[in-house]
Chain A
Amino acid sequence: MKNIIFCMFVITTMLSPLVMAEQVNLYSARKEALIKPLLDKFTQQTGISVNLVTGKADNLITRLKSEGKYSPADLLLTTDVGRLYRAKQQGLTQAITVSAAISTLPNNFRDDQGHWLGLSLRARPMMVSVDRVDAQTIANLEDLISPEWKGRVCIRSSSNIYNQSMVASLIVQLGGSAAQEWVNGLVNNFARPPQGGDRDQIKAVAAGLCDVAIANTYYLAGMLSSEDETTQQQAKKVKVIWPNQAGRGAHINISGVTLAKHAPNKDAALKLIDFLLSKESQLWYATTNHEYPVLADIAWSELLQSFGTFKAEQVPLGQLGELNAAAVKMMDRAGWK
């Protein structure tokens, strides 16, 4: 019995690549629901089928690495730049050579050797209570560590990659000791030990548990467009404050893609990259997912427009990946759970 089953697996796995016509194999850290519709469109337009495995970025990178040159993966999609950097660092990627769209990307949204590039932009501003906070009283991330905000700040766990990247970007821009000081001060002002995700921080502000939260904008947008009345009401009780607009700008991160070193279907993979950078796909990110497009001339959704325009940090994003471990240690030292 076991032998029969086993043989079936072997046969099916051996046959599957032969049956398909042109195809791309995709390892995606982006959840299926947030990428599949785009991939289906791509298949419709080009006839190239896309095979998908989703998972956590680091697991996918480990998988890519251990499979070595026999890896079936063509592309790796991640939701933060640190992982793209890590994949390149481990020698798992190659330069994306011929892609029409790549030249239109701003410089800091792509690797200087072209190994990875950004597909969508994610911003992490402050969000304050509409009722209890005068938006004029807070302008910079640095304000959050003043005694005035003691016991009023909500943010999720430091195990989360968005917080790790944010602290890494502070290390780049402020230097190690100033960043540590900021982290210590922030922990000191926490309203509660970090728990839950970004939406939970927004809900906590709405419910009066804290007055300011740090969260990614697409979570707020997702809540505002929720089917659930209560969720919508909660989201309406907070307001986005873009930090450091007079200075370095608000913290951003990218979701992006990298080309696997041993990609067996390189041509099809490049076509998919082009497609993901096309106007149509960029518009989809901006309207369905409420992420900011990486290309400048794409219209934002109404929701995104309602948050206002902002000045973004100009940090070379690859450095965030380099400093990730340093950021985690910094938060460990400060007691940020």
Chain B
Amino acid sequence: MKHINWLYSWFNVWFVSIALGCMILAAPVGLVFVSVFFPQTEIWQHLYSTVLSDYIVNSLVLAFGVGFFVIVIGTVLAWCIARYEFAGRKQLQWLILLPMAMPAYIIAYTYTGLLDYAGPIQTLLRETFHWQYGDYYFPNIRSLPGAIIMLSLVLYPYVYMLARTAFSEQPSSLEEVSRSLGVPPIKHLFKVVLPLARPAILMGAALAMMEAFADYGTVQYFGLSTFTTGIFRTWFGLGNGIAAAQLAAMLTSFVVLLLILEYLSRRKIRYYFQGQRSQQINRQKLTGSKAFWVPFVCVIPVFLGFILPVLQLLKWATMTYSKQLTSEFWLLLWNSFYLAAIAAITAVILALLFAYGKRLHPIKPIQLLVGVVNLGYAVPGTVIAIGAMISLSWLDIKINTLTENWFDISVGLVFSGSLFALILVYSSRFLAVAMHNIDTGLSRVKPSMDDAARSLGYKPLQILKIIHVPLMKTSVLSALLLVFVDVLKELPATLILRPFNFNTLAVRAFELASDERLMDAALPALAIVSVGILPVILLTMLMDKPDPQSSQVN
């Protein structure tokens, strides 16, 4: 009997289609690892004796620094918003998410413009106090700590979102129990609330750290030696693509370690709250000095991560908009929008299928395959893009040879020369984002629901459609919106793979900024931010609504 079950779980439509889907998505990342089989001794000796230790140390410090700050900022904000009632709370809860719409490289550009030695703030200081260079200390923004702060300021919403959901889902009965047992609030926080929210917080932090590992724009602009800058240096400067891919493989291995750590930390924890949820938690109304400083603390990250940079961009944009605001600009806006929308829908559909397949057949091979595809998030966009370019061109050449032999026509570069390539890369890079959301959503639907539906004779896809998707509408939508915003900001893959005469806002902003024309780049940058705000606002409205999950289950 057991044997038959085993066979059934291996040879079925779900397994085959998931395996196939994962393999296609994993091909670009997989190509990176193939490089390991072609040793490049001479160049590694050079790297080892000169720059490799820099790459490792800086990348690790960057990622863990960002991890630390996003946990602190995100958790504090989530706690304040989920548990306290104060003036401005309603506005703050969506303001807090806005930095998500800000690409890290753009915030880096604006802060450099502000805080650099030649920038307005230091110049003002020098002119006011008649200082010269060396007379005073001013922190250097273009440094490793600077990069950690820049990335943390735009990545903390990942932790905030997940932690806030976790906090507001904790039944207030827990708090009542603690209180009735005489446990002081602070102890309740550290012994009950945080441990219960830990999986959500760590998941958010892991996403942020993966972004930090893969960041290229910021570290490149700040002149830091990390893995990502090292990959390009090795590839372009030293002209060795294989060694560059090996560096990328090494970077990806760090992320695998990180993910294993995250997995281990929540392995033993499975909570299903919905069944027992008794009542909506009451938010504590703040009075006295707390009513003043809690909102103040909550505003700081938004101010630094969004308001201040946007003001700076606005100032630049007013100086240059007449040159930038042409009919072509609206085309860029439209391109960015529809590309992001298609990519988001594709990634979420795939994530739904994968996550559900994983739930239906919790067997090792499927989990492993899905895990490999999730790694894409940590691989720098350029590396995946090159992987996709090489594999798709190979496919195209084969197809053309075939059609030429059979029909005597060549169809051209059907895959690598079209938007298909971009959608593939976005899916394989951002699937992790969608998966994290949908996994969390699915894991909160009690398995007994599946069993009940199955016993009523429903097929798996039907169950997914009529039970799971409606139940986790919030998770599906937030997955959609997150991928949308991510694609909107995505740069390197778009730059490498886009077809002829196709540009996006991110490409335009980057081209101008990398040509050191920050002011001209301000308008497209602002446009990215404003298109990105829409989904972010939608997201907050969703988070605010009563969770359909709880209302239906009860």
Give residues in A with beta carbon < 8 Å to B. Answer: 1-2, 5-6, 9-10, 12-14, 16-17, 25, 31-34, 51-56, 58-59, 62-63, 66-72, 86, 156-159, 161, 164, 192-200, 203-204, 206-209, 219, 222, 226-228, 230, 234, 324-325, 328-329, 332-333, 337
Selected from B118, B132, B418, B500, the residue in CB contact (under 8 A) with A203 is B118
Known A-B contacts A51-B501, A332-B46; A159 and B232 likewise in contact (beta carbons under 8 Å): yes
In the assembled complex, which residues on chain B have CB atoms less than 8 Å from the CB atom of A2? 346, 349
B463 at the interface (CB under 8 A from A): no
In the assembled complex, which residues on chain B have CB atoms less than 8 Å from the CB atom of A193? 223
B101 at the interface (CB under 8 A from A): no
Task: Specify the main secondary structure of chain B where it touches its partner.
Answer: helix
B133 at the interface (CB under 8 A from A): yes
Interface locus among B70-78, B171-179, B389-397: B389-397
Interface locus among B248-256, B261-269, B474-482, B509-517: B509-517
Selected from A16, A32, A325, A332, the residue in CB contact (under 8 A) with B239 is A325
Contact A54 B511, beta carbon cutoff 8 Å: yes
Contact A13 B225, beta carbon cutoff 8 Å: no
B133 CB, min distance to chain A CBs, angstroms: 5
Contact A329 B46, beta carbon cutoff 8 Å: yes
Closest to A197 in B: B516
Selected from A6, A16, A70, A156, the residue in CB contact (under 8 A) with B410 is A70
Q: Which 6 A-B pairs have the closest CB atoms?
A: A195-B223, A203-B118, A51-B500, A66-B393, A328-B237, A13-B418
Closest to B233 in A: A159
Interface residues of B in 194-238 (CB under 8 A from A): 220-225, 229, 232-233, 235-238
B217 CB, min distance to chain A CBs, angstroms: 13
B368 at the interface (CB under 8 A from A): no
- What's the Cα separation between A35 and B41 when bound, in Å? 41
B420 at the interface (CB under 8 A from A): yes
- What's the Cα separation between A16 and B220 when bound, in Å? 37
- What's the Cα separation between A12 and B397 when bound, in Å? 19
Contact A219 B501, beta carbon cutoff 8 Å: no
Contact A324 B239, beta carbon cutoff 8 Å: yes
Known A-B contacts A67-B393, A324-B239; A209 and B495 likewise in contact (beta carbons under 8 Å): no
In the assembled complex, which residues on chain A have CB atoms less than 8 Å from the CB atom of B46? 329, 332
Closest to A332 in B: B50
- What's the Cα separation between A63 and B495 when bound, in Å? 12
- What's the Cα separation between A337 and B237 when bound, in Å? 13
Contact A67 B413, beta carbon cutoff 8 Å: yes
Known A-B contacts A70-B397, A333-B50; A234 and B118 likewise in contact (beta carbons under 8 Å): yes
Contact A13 B116, beta carbon cutoff 8 Å: no
B123 at the interface (CB under 8 A from A): yes
B129 CB, min distance to chain A CBs, angstroms: 14
B222 CB, min distance to chain A CBs, angstroms: 6
- What's the Cα separation between A55 and B385 when bound, in Å? 13
Contact A70 B396, beta carbon cutoff 8 Å: yes
Contact A227 B320, beta carbon cutoff 8 Å: yes
Known A-B contacts A62-B389, A208-B132; A164 and B237 likewise in contact (beta carbons under 8 Å): yes
Residue pairs across A and B with Cβ atoms less than 8 A apart, 27 shown, are A1-B345, A9-B419, A13-B499, A14-B412, A17-B412, A32-B508, A52-B501, A59-B496, A63-B496, A66-B394, A67-B413, A68-B397, A72-B412, A156-B223, A157-B223, A197-B514, A203-B116, A203-B117, A207-B123, A208-B132, A222-B517, A227-B320, A228-B319, A234-B118, A325-B240, A329-B46, A337-B224
In the assembled complex, which residues on chain A have CB atoms less than 8 Å from the CB atom of B514? 31, 197
Q: What sequence of 0s and 1s flags, for each residue 411-435 of chain B, a beta carbon within 8 Å of any chain A beta carbon?
A: 1111011111000000000000000
With A62-B386, A230-B120 known, 15 other A-B pairs at CB within 8 A are A5-B342, A10-B420, A52-B500, A53-B499, A54-B495, A56-B496, A62-B390, A66-B390, A66-B394, A193-B223, A195-B142, A200-B118, A204-B118, A207-B123, A337-B224
In the assembled complex, which residues on chain B have CB atoms less than 8 Å from the CB atom of A230? 120
Closest to A31 in B: B511
Closest to B394 in A: A66
A122 CB, min distance to chain B CBs, angstroms: 13
B367 at the interface (CB under 8 A from A): no
- What's the Cα separation between A208 and B130 when bound, in Å? 13
A134 CB, min distance to chain B CBs, angstroms: 19
Contact A53 B410, beta carbon cutoff 8 Å: no
Selected from B238, B397, B420, B498, the residue in CB contact (under 8 A) with A329 is B238
In the assembled complex, which residues on chain B have CB atoms less than 8 Å from the CB atom of A53? 498-502
B112 at the interface (CB under 8 A from A): yes
B298 at the interface (CB under 8 A from A): no
Selected from B232, B345, B412, the residue in CB contact (under 8 A) with A70 is B412
A244 CB, min distance to chain B CBs, angstroms: 25
A284 CB, min distance to chain B CBs, angstroms: 17
Closest to B239 in A: A325
Task: Specify the main secondary structure of chain A where it touches its partner.
Answer: helix
A123 CB, min distance to chain B CBs, angstroms: 17
Q: What sequence of 0s and 1s flags, for each residue 511-554 of chain B, a beta carbon within 8 Å of any chain A beta carbon?
A: 11011110110000000000000000000000000000000000
In the assembled complex, which residues on chain A have CB atoms less than 8 Å from the CB atom of B132? 208
Contact A67 B223, beta carbon cutoff 8 Å: no
- What's the Cα separation between A328 and B320 when bound, in Å? 37
- What's the Cα separation between A221 and B385 when bound, in Å? 35
Closest to A157 in B: B223
Contact B237 A68, beta carbon cutoff 8 Å: no
Contact A67 B346, beta carbon cutoff 8 Å: no
B152 at the interface (CB under 8 A from A): no
A10 CB, min distance to chain B CBs, angstroms: 6
A119 CB, min distance to chain B CBs, angstroms: 17
- What's the Cα separation between A59 and B216 when bound, in Å? 15
Contact A337 B225, beta carbon cutoff 8 Å: yes
Contact B237 A196, beta carbon cutoff 8 Å: no
B503 at the interface (CB under 8 A from A): yes
Selected from A16, A63, A199, A204, the residue in CB contact (under 8 A) with B516 is A199
Interface residues of B in 42-91 (CB under 8 A from A): 46, 50-51
Closest to A198 in B: B516
B335 at the interface (CB under 8 A from A): no
A319 CB, min distance to chain B CBs, angstroms: 15
Selected from A10, A157, A158, A204, the residue in CB contact (under 8 A) with B117 is A204
Contact A200 B414, beta carbon cutoff 8 Å: no
In the assembled complex, which residues on chain A have CB atoms less than 8 Å from the CB atom of B35? none
B312 at the interface (CB under 8 A from A): no
A63 CB, min distance to chain B CBs, angstroms: 6
- What's the Cα separation between A9 and B411 when bound, in Å? 13
- What's the Cα separation between A87 and B361 when bound, in Å? 49
B382 at the interface (CB under 8 A from A): yes
A324 CB, min distance to chain B CBs, angstroms: 7
Contact A207 B133, beta carbon cutoff 8 Å: yes
Contact A59 B382, beta carbon cutoff 8 Å: yes
B165 at the interface (CB under 8 A from A): no
Interface centre among A16, A66, A325 (most CB of B within 10 A): A66
Closest to A54 in B: B511
Known A-B contacts A67-B396, A228-B519; A32 and B511 likewise in contact (beta carbons under 8 Å): yes
- What's the Cα separation between A4 and B161 when bound, in Å? 34
- What's the Cα separation between A328 and B39 when bound, in Å? 20
Contact B417 A72, beta carbon cutoff 8 Å: yes
In the assembled complex, which residues on chain B have CB atoms less than 8 Å from the CB atom of A9? 418-420
Closest to B241 in A: A62
Known A-B contacts A72-B500, A197-B516, A325-B237; A12 and B418 likewise in contact (beta carbons under 8 Å): yes
- What's the Cα separation between A324 and B102 when bound, in Å? 36
- What's the Cα separation between A308 and B120 when bound, in Å? 31
Contact B118 A206, beta carbon cutoff 8 Å: yes
- What's the Cα separation between A154 and B142 when bound, in Å? 15
- What's the Cα separation between A125 and B319 when bound, in Å? 30
B400 at the interface (CB under 8 A from A): yes
Selected from A5, A10, A203, the residue in CB contact (under 8 A) with B414 is A10
- What's the Cα separation between A202 and B46 when bound, in Å? 32
- What's the Cα separation between A2 and B347 when bound, in Å? 11
Closest to A223 in B: B516
Known A-B contacts A157-B223, A227-B519; A325 and B238 likewise in contact (beta carbons under 8 Å): yes
